[in-house]
């Protein structure tokens, strides 16, 4: 275990933060105090805070521009429809999808994965087929496939990982065979921070003709994304993890696959013609967007994308990498701290435990110092079982975090040790 060190001072990086790092001023929630302390928000893996651009966009739409989309022949409905569909093109450009028609609006990553499972999965998987699922998946990329296996008779196999939290590629290669129809895995692990080797796994999948679904929930706001370069068949992400509103997300799918997939839900807007003799369905993406959508949230998601693009995804990645390096140097100096997940290629989700102290106690005590971190199994119970822990504490980084935030976290963790 790491040795005890003197509690660091935080003045070096915390003096006049809003002046030295002006991005903080664009997130009004960061101006508040928690328990009388400056809020240090380190739960970005769960959800991100919202910049003024997103807040103002929502306010403007509900106050001045609200109308439903696709149904009105009047001006404000037509304008709302234009704004709504413009975001589809914006998303396509943001992830370099070939066409806006490859972009389906959903409620988030979870619904995106379920959509693929209940449309492409139920249509294409049969008794004897196999799905490969990585050992580090969020429950939302495990449970839908277990359900499909029960529905179709296909099986799933687990792609193993090592004690660093990295997939074991040699073992995965042995799992692949002519029965493998689909490989599902996350781009970045929410529980470990591991960045998975997407291109290597895609190349392995192509050798046996398997399709690939990539969970991009943890990568969309942290890395430049190019779905054509990654060569994946499906890519899912959530707005609320990229500084946009909750309740909306995206599924990207290859055009040729989307055209063959049946609808998942029935209702308005997903049809071509309805009669009691039968119904014909609209072309994608409308086929998969039944009912009145989250109009304001989609439009505000577009504002979030504009904001991230104004900062530059390469610059965001560089900033967070520098901050991660600082954190990985500082945190192991805390007495009794052990990192869970030490992959060589990783992002800013840092899970850890303190010797003989429950993660929930850690999170509660550091909250008293104004620090917001997550504690629990992070919807990744198989990961916890692999590392033989019930839960971990997790600090996850975002664009507004600074080295001063890491200093405050380290100081707070030393207080945890003092108390226990």
- As annotated, the active-site residues are 379
Beta strand 374-376 with 40-41 is unpaired
CA distance 390 to 376: 8
Beta strand 103-106 with 40-41 is unpaired
Are the beta carbons of 152 and 126 closer than 8 angstroms? yes
CA distance 62 to 80: 11
| 249-253 β-sheet, strand order | 103-106, 249-253, 234-238, 211-215, 180-186, 130-134, 155-159
112's tokens: 């995106």
Are the beta carbons of 231 and 202 closer than 8 angstroms? yes
CA distance 356 to 55: 42
Which residues, at least 6 apart from 312, have a Cβ–Cβ distance to it below 8 Å?
none
Closest by Cα among 55, 54, 34, 52 to 43:
34
Enter the DSSP assignment of 161.
B
Return the percent helix, strand and coil in the chain, to nearest 5. 45, 20, 35
Are the beta carbons of 417 and 380 closer than 8 angstroms? no
CA distance 250 to 111: 9
């Amino acid at each position: 275990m790491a040795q005890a060190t003197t509690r660091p001072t935080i003045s070096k990086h915390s003096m006049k933060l809003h002046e030295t790092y002006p991005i903080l001023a664009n997130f009004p929630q960061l101006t508040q105090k928690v328990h009388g302390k400056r809020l240090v928000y380190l739960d970005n893996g769960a959800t991100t805070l919202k910049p003024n651009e997103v807040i103002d966009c929502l306010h403007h739409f509900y106050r001045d521009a609200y109308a439903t989309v696709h149904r009105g022949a009047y001006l404000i409905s037509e304008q709302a429809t234009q704004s709504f569909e413009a975001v589809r093109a914006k998303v396509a450009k943001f992830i370099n999808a070939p066409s806006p028609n490859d972009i389906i609006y959903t409620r988030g990553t979870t619904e995106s994965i379920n959509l693929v499972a209940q449309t492409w999965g139920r249509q294409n998987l049969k008794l004897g087929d196999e799905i490969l699922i990585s050992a580090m998946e969020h429950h939302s990329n495990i449970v839908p496939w277990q359900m499909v296996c029960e529905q179709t008779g296909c099986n799933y196999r687990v792609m193993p990982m090592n004690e660093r939290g990295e997939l074991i590629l040699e073992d995965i290669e042995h799992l692949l065979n002519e029965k493998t129809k689909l490989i599902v895995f996350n781009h970045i692990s929410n529980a470990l921070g591991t960045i998975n080797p997407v291109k290597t796994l895609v190349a392995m999948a192509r050798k046996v003709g398997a399709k690939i679904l990539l969970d991009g929930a943890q990568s969309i706001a942290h890395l430049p994304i190019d779905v054509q370069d990654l060569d994946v068949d499906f890519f899912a992400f959530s707005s609320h993890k990229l500084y946009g509103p909750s309740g909306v997300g995206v599924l990207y799918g290859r055009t040729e696959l989307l055209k063959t997939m049946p609808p998942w839900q029935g209702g308005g807007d997903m049809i071509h013609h309805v009669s009691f003799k039968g119904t014909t369905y609209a072309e994608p993406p409308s086929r998969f967007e039944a009912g009145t959508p989250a109009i304001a949230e989609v439009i505000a998601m577009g504002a979030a994308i504009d904001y991230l693009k104004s900062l530059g995804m390469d610059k965001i990645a560089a900033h967070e990498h520098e901050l991660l390096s600082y954190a990985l140097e500082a945190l192991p100096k805390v007495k009794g701290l052990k990192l869970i997940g030490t992959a060589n290629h990783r992002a800013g989700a840092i899970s850890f435990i303190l010797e003989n102290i429950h993660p929930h106690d850690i999170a509660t005590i550091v909250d008293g110092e104004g620090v917001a971190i997550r504690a629990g199994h992070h919807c990744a119970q198989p990961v916890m079982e692999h590392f033989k822990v019930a839960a971990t504490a997790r600090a996850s980084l975002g664009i507004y975090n600074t080295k001063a935030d890491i200093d405050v976290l380290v100081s707070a963790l030393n207080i945890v040790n003092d108390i226990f």
